[in-house]
Amino acid sequence: MKRVSREWRNDGQKVRQELLKKEAVIFDLDGTLVDSMWMWKAIDMEYLGRYGYDCPDFLQREIEGMSFSETAAYFKNTFQLPDTVEEIKKAWVDMSIEKYRWEVPLKEGARRFLEFLRDSGIRAGIATSNGREMVDAVMRSLGISSYFQVVATACEVAAGKPAPDIYLNVAERLGVAPKQCMVFEDVPAGILAGKAAGMTVCAVEDHFSIPMREEKRQLADFYIQNYYELLVRGAAS
């Protein structure tokens, strides 16, 4: 266990060194910047339960990286749901909005890292597969809107992750070349999207994606357990 922690700590130092060469950082939201993946699994179970379905084990991997609209269409087609795509999306918004406002925290060390980026003059953006209403709710609740110059959802681009569209969109709006951007992501589809965009990618530990840990480490340029590793030289907290 000590050996694994030391590897993670070393990655944190390398990420910090690489980060200081960049002009912008782009974050995924759920599971990367905020601790919310637990909520979405519960919502999927509750929603499908309304129609007599159990939540299949393959579901989360199937919808990984899809936009909010793409995910709703997948649910409708896969489970033959009577609701329209817009009705499915509205149900999810209604089920999640209060949780986003009151129950979803930032990931460990994230606020301090955002302050570090701001103080270092490094621009910041969000590239999320989530819906705009929910993104706005959690950002207002956590008081982090001012740290970001650009916030984009996958519904605003042609294709969701693992396509690079959303990361290229955010970089363009930030006015930064892709090679000058570092991406933080928690799942393989997002990591692939950042790499396809020509960006440096750092994978972030999340309880939800622990079974994918080795895949994430192989796909990404770097891997961290939490954001404190980027702030305290030689130690993780």
Cβ neighbours of residue 90 closer than 8 Å, sequence gap 6 or more: none
User: How far apart, in Å, are the Cα atoms of 142 and each of 34, 133, 138, 215, 224?
Assistant: 9, 15, 6, 31, 22
Is there a contact between 171 and 177 (Cβ–Cβ < 8 Å)? yes
Burial 107-125 (b: 16+ CB within 10 A, else e): bbbbbbbbebbeeeebbbb
| Closest C-alpha among 31, 182, 41 to residue 107 | 31
Catalytic residue among 11, 28, 186, 221: 28
* Residue 50 dihedral angles phi and psi, to the nearest 5°: -60, -25
For 163, half-sphere exposure in the C-beta direction (CA atoms, 13 angstrom radius) is: 12
Euclidean distance between the first and the last CA atom of the chain, given in angstroms as a whole number: 15
d(CA 62, CA 34): 21
Cβ neighbours of residue 107 closer than 8 Å, sequence gap 6 or more: 32, 33, 34, 35, 204, 206, 226, 227
Q: Is 28 a catalytic residue?
A: yes
Active site residues: 28
